[in-house]
């Protein structure tokens, strides 16, 4: 993991791009996977690697016996990596409006899964990396203060931390950022 997240000024976060737009900025490579799985796995190039060219982030998948399934998993892993590693610069809300409310796309994604202060989404859902990027962008805006970010996002602090625990790299990023500011780590 890098020392600090990369900043993307005033633009849509790459993990929230359409699949076509994201893949247009990626390079795919395929190789044979070793290990159990029979002849198909060992003799056919089923291992998929995808590189996001603007940042050189790479994600791989080789669990499945089919290249198609491994492509889907690798792309999802890449989107999760981008959600953790790249921050979009957002502004504080004007006139009491939350930063999420200013971004109509982010608001739509957030409201879709956040009901009555609780978040319900599977880590395998296509929108999972988008939700994660929104959460981390708000944390960055709020100087990595969980309680303040939870108020902006209208969820409890415990829900926020629970969400981050679903993606261990996100919790690590939060604790790294908090440590550089002299704040205690969260578990």
Range of the domain at 42: 14-86
Q: Tens of pLDDT along 53-65?
A: 999 999 999 888 8
In this structure, are 80 and 120 located in the same domain?
no
Could you give the CA distance from residue 72 to residue 143 in angstroms, rounded to a whole number? 34
Q: Tens of pLDDT along 129-173?
A: 999 999 998 899 899 999 999 988 889 999 999 999 999 999 999
Asked which of 68, 86, 104 is the last residue of a domain, the reply is 86
pLDDT at 89: 72
pLDDT at 121: 92
Could you give the CA distance from residue 66 to residue 72 in angstroms, rounded to a whole number? 10
In this structure, are 75 and 113 located in the same domain?
no
**Cβ(110)–Cβ(80) below 8 Å:** no
Residue 79 — very low, low, confident or very high, per pLDDT cuts 50/70/90? very high
- Quote the pTM value: 0.83
Residue 92, pLDDT > 70, answer: no
Asked which of 23, 55, 86 is the last residue of a domain, the reply is 86
Among the ranges given (65-74, 108-117, 135-144), the one the predictor scored with the smallest mean pLDDT: 108-117
Q: What is the number of structural domains in the chain?
A: 2
- What percentage of the chain exceeds 90 in pLDDT? 56
Is residue 176 in a domain? Answer: yes
**Cβ(13)–Cβ(127) below 8 Å:** no
Residue 3 — very low, low, confident or very high, per pLDDT cuts 50/70/90? low
């Amino acid at each position: 993991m890098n020392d600090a997240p990369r900043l993307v000024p005033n633009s849509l976060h790459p993990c929230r791009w359409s699949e076509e737009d994201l893949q247009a900025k990626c390079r795919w490579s395929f190789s044979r996977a070793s290990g159990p799985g029979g002849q198909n796995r060992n003799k056919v190039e089923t291992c998929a690697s995808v590189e996001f060219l603007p940042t050189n982030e790479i994600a791989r998948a080789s669990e499945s016996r089919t290249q198609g399934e491994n492509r889907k998993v690798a792309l999802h892993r890449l989107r999760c990596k981008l959600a953790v590693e790249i921050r979009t610069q957002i502004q504080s809300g004007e006139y009491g409006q939350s930063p999420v409310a200013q971004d109509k796309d982010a608001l739509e994604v957030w409201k879709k899964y956040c009901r009555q202060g609780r978040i319900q989404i599977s880590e395998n859902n296509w929108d999972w990396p988008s939700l994660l990027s929104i959460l981390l962008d708000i944390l960055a805006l709020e100087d990595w203060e969980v309680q303040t970010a939870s108020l902006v996002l209208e969820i409890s602090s415990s829900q926020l931390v629970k969400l981050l625990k679903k993606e261990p790299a996100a919790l690590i990023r939060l604790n790294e950022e908090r440590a550089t500011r002299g704040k205690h780590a969260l578990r």
